[in-house]
Structure 1
Amino acid sequence: MASETHGKFGRIGIWSGALHRSRVDDARWEAIAEAVAELEELGYGTVWLGGSPSPDDAAALVEATRTVTVATGILSIWEHSAEEVTARIAALDAGARGRFELGLGVSHDALAPRYAKPYSAMVAYLDSLDAAAPPVDRGRRVLAALGPKMLQLATDRALGAHPYLVTTEHTAEAREALGPGALLAPELSVVLDTDLDRARTTARNMLAMYLRLPNYTNNLLRLGFTERDFEDGGSVRLLDALFALGDAERVRARTREYFDAGADHIALQVLTAEEGGAGLPRAEWRELAEVFADLLR
């Protein structure tokens, strides 16, 4: 059960890697800001800024909104120093600062040239956040935790965990590891398409990159999948465990499975056949808002 501390996230959020100010021109940014304003109006509790955002990307999104919680999902500790992050957060006005949550992750060996001893590096990074003036305290940060050690760290040194690309079984295990008080906010990728063959193709197009990253595949192996499940873009068994495929009611049912497994909040990433997760699927966000109306603000 989500505590009052977790209430700022709401029950349902939207995760998107297409919301970066630093990667677009002014016209595209206007479209992004308009789309995020609509997410706020629709009542989603949190907008998760995916795709390795920078502190400036996060600040721009906070400054473009009025009430919604903005969280990074996930800022890489290798790309931005703790000093850079704390300075940018401190520069936000007090009201905006209170709506921001810092999601942190250790990324992947293949993506971060300085990647080494990720657990120790995260501990040191959190130490730097604690020592900053003003500090980014544990109640304003979440960790991209998959394995036992990082989940324990998310309990001890952060508000909780924001796992990406996980099953309901992982959610149940994470809840047990975190204990009842920590936030558990998994991402769940969604394809709103009742043609399941086509929906699985869309899902495989997104999944292909992640199946090349050992942090994810090792986690899936721990959950009982095999190397054969990773072949040809992912087995049906794997896809059906990781994604919500079908109509909005099916997405609602899948989300309920994650809540039943112990999640406090679900961050929905909508994938489309045309753009994968790189677009602004506003029609799909509206459709989901209708089916989740009782869980939105």
Structure 2
Amino acid sequence: MTSVGVVTPFWLDRPPAEALDIAVAADEAGFGTVWIGEMATFDAFALATAVGLRTSRISLRIGPLAAGVRSPVALALGLSTVVATTERRAGLALGASSPRIVTEWHGRTWEPVRRMRETVRDTRAILNGERVAGFRLQHPVPGTPISVAAFGPAMTKVAAAEGDEVVLNLVSADHVAAVKKQLSALTAAPPPLAVWIPAALEPGPATLRQLRSQLAVYLAPPGYGEMFTALGHGTLVDEARAGRPRSELAQAIPVDLIEAVGAIGSAKEVAGRVDEYFEAGAEHVGLVPATAEDPAGSRLLTTLSPLLTEERR
């Protein structure tokens, strides 16, 4: 079974509290899942609690959070608090993040593969009510799904072995198909695959600027750069890795690169792109609404929802 959810983005050109409005819009439009991440605005567990209290039924997926930042105890406490205070279903997603965030921002050691494996195992055990390192959660949440964000072969192996779901962000449908094959080769029962894609209805200049600004961040990092090169944009990748200013890179990003890793255009075209990701092997698609010309993504979500089957919402 496939499903479509909504991701609360953190656009740098928008008010941080718009994340709450996006979640409310997703709930009102009938979507079944909202993803709540974390960057430089709100604590994800606090934001998830606020979302749960302002919406009526939508389930919560918290993360991907950097696995090397919070301990398994802290992750379990946060998830348990959200579930208890909102009386809402919630899942947890973890990612490697980056050395800058893990080491510079939070002062933790950068050991992504080992830390991910240990964090998933211990957090799952604590949420299931087991005692870990002398700690037992008073309000366990057994069966909580834990998703693992994966980009690159090492983390994909961890995700296949430890995760209840694998999450990809800002990738092409062809990349989804390739990861699907990798997962099938790694295990006889591969976890389902979720993918986040930016989405916008009939984007105008401001929306395209917003999407270009996001893409510019991903041109240089390993993995993403190679994917963009395979899509025919190696010159941009080379320039990003050579240190060309991000603002200049953003201006140089063509619309076809946005289209390759997202869903933009008419409602029918956006829905069609969602189907392409399902055909490539994704079981869940998380829409990341562009909001520069569509506050809270309300128009996108209310327009698109009727085009999706009830099972997918």
TM-score by length of 1: 0.79
Distance 2:48 2:170 in 1: 22
TM alignment of 1:5-44, pairs within 5 A: 11-18=3-10, 36-44=23-31
SS at match of 1:107: coil
Distance 1:138 1:172 in 2: 28
Structure 2: segments with no counterpart, 5+ residues = 131-140, 240-248
Number of aligned residue pairs: give it. 276
Picking from 120, 126, 131, the partner of 1:132 is 126
TM alignment of 1:134-283, pairs within 5 A: 134=129, 140-179=145-184, 181-193=190-202, 200-214=208-222, 216-221=224-229, 223=230, 225=232, 227-230=234-237, 232-233=249-250, 234-273=253-292, 280-283=296-299
Contact 1:160 1:178 in 2 (8 A): no
AA paired with 2:23? V
Structure 1 residues 125 and 194: CA distance shift in structure 2, 3 A = closer
1:106 pairs with 2:96:
yes
Contact 2:194 2:283 in 1 (8 A): yes
Structure 1 residues 198 and 132: CA distance shift in structure 2, 3 A = closer
Distance 2:226 2:290 in 1: 24
Identify the residue that residue 81 of structure 1 maps to in structure 2.
71
In our comparison, the structure showing a higher alpha carbon Rg is 2
TM-score by length of 2: 0.75
AA paired with 1:162? V
Could you give the per-residue CA deviations for residues 225-275 of structure 1, whole angstroms, max 9, x where no partner exists? 553143533344432211222111111111111010011111001113358
Could you give the per-residue CA deviations for residues 32-91 of structure 1, whole angstroms, max 9, x where no partner exists? 656534422321121011344533323333344342121123211233222111012223
SS at match of 2:283: coil
Distance 2:285 2:220 in 1: 25
SS at match of 1:67: coil
Could you give the per-residue CA deviations for residues 202-223 of structure 1, whole angstroms, max 9, x where no partner exists? 42122122224445324545x5
State the identity %: 25
Structure 1 residues 54 and 117: CA distance shift in structure 2, 3 A = same
SS at match of 1:162: strand
Please report how far the alpha carbon of residue 199 of structure 1 lies from its aligned counterpart in structure 2 after TM superposition.
5.5
Contact 1:108 1:215 in 2 (8 A): no
